[in-house]
Amino acid sequence: MKPTDTKQKIMDTAEHLFARDGYRGTSLRAITGKAGVNLAAVNYHFGSKTSLLETVIRRRILPLNQIRKKRLEQLRENARKKKKTPDIKDVLTAFIEPTLLFMESSPGAKNFIAFIGRSFTGPDDTVRKVFMRFIKPMFYLLFEAACDSLPNQPQETIFWRLHFTMGALFHTMQLSGNVDIGPKNLHADINAKSLINHIIPYITAGMKAR
């Protein structure tokens, strides 16, 4: 087995188990056992459990953030050219569509999306801090774009409504993944396209309310 294989296997398995059982609920022994590698390999390749977590997160979130950023910037650029404010629906779509589509880019990505959804709300400081670091800048980009789109709404209102939107999104993201999570069986077909078609009209109406 090539060294890269071992490293990769650990990351993929960790991603899967973190999504299913949480960071705290996943022991290094569970990861290495399922991955079929030696326990000591984790600390050899990653140094520590925390470092493994960070690597797992970084691997997926950097490319994802790049796509989201690009789409938001494109949207504002187009609007500037036409001298119009961007439509709030388009702003929300630019942020959410890549996020949910991303889960179909690979089976592992599905787990990762579920992991984000659960972690952002979770009580685990270690996990949330890592995610926060990567997601906060994206949220501010989204906030700015939303303010452009809704110039008549007070910023506090926009902030709260984006907060609700994130809640709806995260709660939806944690339904994805191969892992058997709570109420998943109630939703027969969870695919990105269907999720997008359901969530976009809801949050668009919510952002525009009154």
Name residues contacting DNA, limited to 42-71 (CB under 7 A): 42-45, 47-50
* Binding residues with DNA: total (CB under 7 A): 22
Partner in contact with 48, chosen from a second copy, DNA, none, beta carbon below 5 to 8 Å by kind: DNA
Contacts 24+ apart (CB under 8 A), 77-84: 79/148
Binding test (CB under 7 A) with DNA, winner from 13, 26, 93, 153: 26
Nearest CA to 110 among 3, 36, 40, 18?
18
Distance in angstroms (rounded) separating the CA atoms of residues 173 and 124:
18
Name residue 201's amino acid. Answer: P
Q: Residue written as tokens 């949050």?
A: 203
Distance in angstroms (rounded) separating the CA atoms of residues 109 and 114:
9
| Cα-based distances in Å from 45 to 27, 40, 123 | 16, 9, 27
H-only helix segments in 46-183: 49-81, 88-102, 107-119, 125-149, 155-173
Count of CB atoms situated within 10 Å of the CB of 145: 23
161 binds a second copy (CB under 8 A): yes
157 binds a second copy (CB under 8 A): yes
13 binds DNA (CB under 7 A): no
Q: What is the largest CA-CA distance in the chain?
A: 61
Name residues contacting a second copy, limited to 100-139 (CB under 8 A): 117-118, 121-124, 128, 132
Token reading at 185: 């069986």
Of the two residues 94 and 166, which places its CB atom closer to a second copy in the complex? Answer: 166
Partner in contact with 13, chosen from a second copy, DNA, none, beta carbon below 5 to 8 Å by kind: none
Partner in contact with 43, chosen from DNA, a second copy, none, beta carbon below 5 to 8 Å by kind: DNA
String marking each residue 171-210 x if it binds a second copy according to CB under 8 A? xx-x-------xx--x-----------xx-xxxxxxxxxx
Least separation in angstroms between residue 202's CB and a second copy is 4
The site for DNA (CB under 7 A) is made up of 1, 3-4, 6, 26-30, 37-45, 47-50
The site for a second copy (CB under 8 A) is made up of 19-22, 24-25, 117-118, 121-124, 128, 132, 157, 159-161, 163-172, 174, 182-183, 186, 198-199, 201-210
